[in-house]
Chains A and B, each alone.
Chain A
Amino acid sequence: MLAKLTPVLIVARRELKDQLRDWRVLFPLLVLTLVFPFLMLMIAGGVVDFVNEYGADLVIDSLVPFSILLIGFFPNTISLVVALETFVGEKERGTIEPLLSSPMQDWQIYLGKLLVGVLTPLIASYLAITLYMVMVSRLDLNMPPPGIVVQLYILTAGHAILMVSGAIVISVQSTSVKAANLLASFIIIPVAFLVQGESVLLFWGSGRILWLALVGVIVLSTLFIRMGIAHFEREYLLGREIDTLNLRWIWSTFWTFFRSGTRQDGSWHRRAVLPALRRLVMPSLVMLALLLMGGWMGYAQVTTSAPEFIDGSVRSIDDLREQVSDMPVAQGMNGVEISAPFIFLNNVRATAAMFLFGAVSFGVLGILFYMLNAGLIGGILSLFAYVGVSPWLLFSTGILPHGMFELPALLLSGAAVLHMAVALVTPQTGKSMGEVFIFLIADWAKVFIGVIVPLLLVAAVVETYVTPILLRSALNW
């Protein structure tokens, strides 16, 4: 294994030498490392003085963790420029071909560049943070607890890995440095939001959730690295030269995948949708397990916390009826007509959103959204169980009638998201990343239009006209 890592270190060493000889990298990095901590201390002092003038009771000590987070973040953003041009820059300078013509394996070249891309800014960030902490200690300010300091150091590393791994994916897939730089905002903006979220957690003082955020950052970074290596194709690095957005090609590729060779002879379901569904068999089994797990988690969570949050206000089914009277299903049960188109459109929107969220987050947000729905069902069952209604009775009369159509639709949506996430991080021989992405969208569109939408349509009709009647009679509502 060590022998296999040697080429990684060879590439990394060369990259590092190159970076250390480039003043365009060194100068901003040095400025951010040495000047920014001083600047941050001054700004923090100014902010505290300013808000305290208006009656706030803020002390500069409370800003220290937040300042550390920012001081670590800024050198990472500069390094992004370097990471963004690792591959595409070499391509533009013509130095990539001799490197690609060498016997090194793809992952060795990739990891060598990633290693330096992460290490240089990380060292700068750590130096800056350490310098800042030295200044804080000399000014007799309160240092954050050691646990928080460790978290901040690890978070900074997480940010560096996340940003650089994302930047290198862009660098491999871009056709020019200009295009790569334009795409950099897709990394900087989400990570900036992430840092803001983490700052809120810091002020809020929720260390446990901050650890969870850190796990999320590491998972995303791992997926980025995996995706980068999976789609690292020497051929595409050398072959693509043209930068223009070819909408005609995108549409024709999508349409070809979507039709799957069928003409208007009614065989689309058989020849296009069925194979797409077959590809979803394994993801569907996983999603079924997640559905049950989400439902169980929702049930367990509500069972544990219901007494606390209901606070004695709901003790019977009638109390509950009053509490949930504004929910659509309850309106139906109360004799108020609920709209099937409303339910249908709502569900279509939800399943589409699940896919869209999944598409921009390696499926993570889509699957979370899916599990949230499952958790909600579990939670409702638990809530009714709390007031003495059998969850099985409620499930068979209030959920199953329309759920037998809606739940498979939800499950297939989730499976499509999972399938996409797995495909994005799996090597796909002979296809560019763009083609893979279009293929996945076409696959989803086939299942969505061919199966999910019809299922949701039937589910909406049943939920509007059948479920309320069954539920009313079961609960004597």
Chain B
Amino acid sequence: MIETNDLSKQFHNFWAVEGVTVKVEPGNILALLGQNGAGKTTTVRMLTSLLKPTRGWARVAGYDVATHGNEVRASVGVLTEQHGLYTRMNAYEYLEFFGQVYSLTPQARKVRSDYLLEYFGLAEAAKRRIGEYSKGMRQKLALARALMHEPPILLLDEPTSAMDPESARLVRDEIARLKSSRRSIVMCTHNLVEAEALADTVAIIYRGRILMQGTLDELKQNILGPVEYEARLAEAWSPNGLNLPAGVTMQQVDGTRLRFQVQQPRDANPLLVGVLAEGRAPVLVFQEVPRTLEQAYLKVMTDAQEGAHAG
């Protein structure tokens, strides 16, 4: 598990991270979203015990990052922003080296590196110098390094950047598998579709502070307002005189589309559908209006930037 409270880091007079409080249970993924320089990497470095918090605390796999650096680092697999590969080594030697660093037995090293090289499609290139690898191959190898010692905690900075769609899919599948094996994962990403697909909770970080955090549904609800539903009609139809149930408001009438905002969908939707049927509305489809994490993120960022300009 990862738990932080008021985690803050100051460099000279600049607060790179301020008051970050998060909790990532085993089997959960937290996506940290934010602009470049928002404080994501600094947060990850504090969680790896590479940077000492100026204020607050963090516990990773039960160890305090400020006092048990080595234990924390032994429990964490990190995919760093830069791949950090030794280009004169080959992939096999590279994983062997990190297997030794993490005190794996020779047999475990062989099993793990064979599995990871095979899984990420690097087995054929395993004896080639890393310097000859493409960007995507390097990214996969760096991820393999982070997974080599099967850590209970994973800190992944842009895990699928620079990858082709197939490789990215492969990596996403692996992350999902790791999640199901009860690992706590923090993922920094600019890929909002990926975050939406994988994350259980999302934290949006801006200038070192978390602006919003919660599950995807909570974020959408809090940022974009109540869920909207749309009734698509077979022909133009006037909703005048429609007696809407409590907690439902009409948002938009657009020819053959009606849009409603619903406070309590579970209770109100059956009633709403009934009202539409009673009014003989020619309904073809009744569905939730899709809302993406991207919409929520962009709204938060726009509000934050406007607030910063105004302030």
If A10-B97, A10-B101, A103-B73 touch, whether A97 touches B50 (CB-CB below 8 Å) is: yes
Asked whether B52 lies within 8 Å of A98 as measured between CB atoms, the reply is no
If A14-B86, A21-B88, A98-B80 touch, whether A103 touches B71 (CB-CB below 8 Å) is: yes
Q: Which of A98, A99, A100, A235 has the most CB of B within 10 A?
A: A98
For the complex, is A322 an interface residue (Cβ under 8 Å from B)? no
**Chain B residues within 8 Å of A185, by CB:** none
- Distance in Å from the Cβ of B99 to the closest Cβ of chain A? 10
Asked whether A101 lies within 8 Å of B88 as measured between CB atoms, the reply is no
Asked whether A101 lies within 8 Å of B80 as measured between CB atoms, the reply is yes
- Distance in Å from the Cβ of A152 to the closest Cβ of chain B? 34
**Chain B residues within 8 Å of A94, by CB:** 80, 82-84
- Distance in Å from the Cβ of A128 to the closest Cβ of chain B? 26
Asked whether A14 lies within 8 Å of B78 as measured between CB atoms, the reply is no
Residue of B with least CB distance to A7: B101
For the complex, is B30 an interface residue (Cβ under 8 Å from A)? no
Contact of A95 among B73, B85, B93, B100 (CB under 8 A): B85
For the complex, is A289 an interface residue (Cβ under 8 Å from B)? no
Asked whether A100 lies within 8 Å of B98 as measured between CB atoms, the reply is no
Asked whether B98 lies within 8 Å of A102 as measured between CB atoms, the reply is yes
For the complex, is B48 an interface residue (Cβ under 8 Å from A)? yes
- Distance in Å from the Cβ of B162 to the closest Cβ of chain A? 14
For the complex, is A17 an interface residue (Cβ under 8 Å from B)? yes
For the complex, is A53 an interface residue (Cβ under 8 Å from B)? no
For the complex, is B191 an interface residue (Cβ under 8 Å from A)? no
- Distance in Å from the Cβ of B304 to the closest Cβ of chain A? 26
**Chain B residues within 8 Å of A103, by CB:** 70-71, 73-74, 101-103
For the complex, is A22 an interface residue (Cβ under 8 Å from B)? yes
Contact of A430 among B48, B52, B74, B98 (CB under 8 A): B52
How many positions in chain B have a CB within 8 Å of any CB in the partner chain?
30
How many positions in chain A have a CB within 8 Å of any CB in the partner chain?
25
If A17-B89, A235-B50, A235-B52 touch, whether A105 touches B80 (CB-CB below 8 Å) is: no
- Distance in Å from the Cβ of B151 to the closest Cβ of chain A? 10
Asked whether B98 lies within 8 Å of A97 as measured between CB atoms, the reply is no
**Chain A residues within 8 Å of B257, by CB:** none
- Distance in Å from the Cβ of A45 to the closest Cβ of chain B? 41
Asked whether B70 lies within 8 Å of A239 as measured between CB atoms, the reply is no
Give bound CA distance, A234 to B52, whole Å: 10
**Chain B residues within 8 Å of A95, by CB:** 84-86
For the complex, is A387 an interface residue (Cβ under 8 Å from B)? no
Residues 77-112 of A, flagged 1 when their CB comes within 8 A of B and 0 if not, give 000000000000000011111111111110000000
For the complex, is B183 an interface residue (Cβ under 8 Å from A)? no
**Chain B residues within 8 Å of A235, by CB:** 50-52
Q: Which of A94, A97, A105 has the most CB of B within 10 A?
A: A97
Give bound CA distance, A97 to B84, whole Å: 7
For the complex, is A18 an interface residue (Cβ under 8 Å from B)? yes
For the complex, is B45 an interface residue (Cβ under 8 Å from A)? yes
Residues 105-125 of A, flagged 1 when their CB comes within 8 A of B and 0 if not, give 100000000000000000000
If A18-B86, A22-B88, A105-B70 touch, whether A98 touches B102 (CB-CB below 8 Å) is: no
Residue of A with least CB distance to B155: A101
Give bound CA distance, A239 to B133, whole Å: 28
Contact of A239 among B11, B73, B81, B97 (CB under 8 A): B11
For the complex, is A238 an interface residue (Cβ under 8 Å from B)? yes
Residue of B with least CB distance to A94: B82
Give bound CA distance, A95 to B84, whole Å: 4
Residues 176-216 of B, flagged 1 when their CB comes within 8 A of A and 0 if not, give 00000000000000000000000000000000000000000
For the complex, is B112 an interface residue (Cβ under 8 Å from A)? no
**Chain B residues within 8 Å of A100, by CB:** 50
**Chain B residues within 8 Å of A14, by CB:** 86, 89, 97
**Chain A residues within 8 Å of B81, by CB:** 97
Residues 66-79 of B, flagged 1 when their CB comes within 8 A of A and 0 if not, give 00001101101010
A contacts, CB < 8 Å to B: 7, 10, 14, 17-18, 21-22, 93-105, 234-235, 238-239, 430
B contacts, CB < 8 Å to A: 11, 45, 48, 50-52, 70-71, 73-74, 76, 78, 80-86, 88-89, 93, 97-98, 100-103, 142, 145
18 CB < 8 A contacts A-B: A7-B101, A10-B100, A14-B97, A95-B85, A97-B50, A97-B78, A97-B80, A97-B81, A98-B142, A101-B50, A101-B73, A101-B80, A103-B73, A104-B101, A105-B70, A234-B51, A238-B50, A239-B51
